[in-house]
């Protein structure tokens, strides 16, 4: 299972302003301007390294990365693809 805490901590420490709280599972990240498109790319790089997956950005719209829950869903789907062969 994807660790929402690890993803949230990465977002808080690397992508948000200092002192920002960890976003909730359904809090908007991109659509409200908390992170920008470069931040989404940095998040994707983190997810690929952390979970050993490859995220094909051509398959996803930037809004697919708008909440922790959506990000976790992408990771889970990609991990199933890796594990399922």
Q: How far apart are CA 8 and CA 19, in angstroms?
A: 13
In 3D space, the residue among 61, 59, 9 whose CA is nearest the CA of residue 40 turns out to be 61
The per-residue pLDDT for range 3-58, each reduced to its tens digit, is: 888 999 899 999 998 888 878 999 999 999 999 999 999 999 999 999 999 999 99
Whether 71 has a pLDDT exceeding 70, the answer reads: yes
**Domain boundaries in the chain?**
4-84
Position 3 scores a pLDDT of 81
Q: Which CATH class is domain 4-84?
A: mainly alpha
């Amino acid at each position: 299972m994807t660790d929402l805490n690890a993803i949230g901590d990465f977002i808080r420490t690397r992508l948000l302003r200092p002192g920002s709280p960890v976003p909730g599972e359904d809090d908007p990240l991109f659509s409200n301007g908390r992170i920008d498109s470069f931040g989404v790319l940095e998040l994707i790089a983190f997810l690929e390294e952390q979970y050993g997956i490859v995220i094909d950005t051509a398959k996803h719209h930037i809004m697919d990365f708008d909440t922790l829950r959506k990000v976790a869903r992408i990771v889970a789907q990609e991990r199933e693809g890796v594990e399922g062969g």
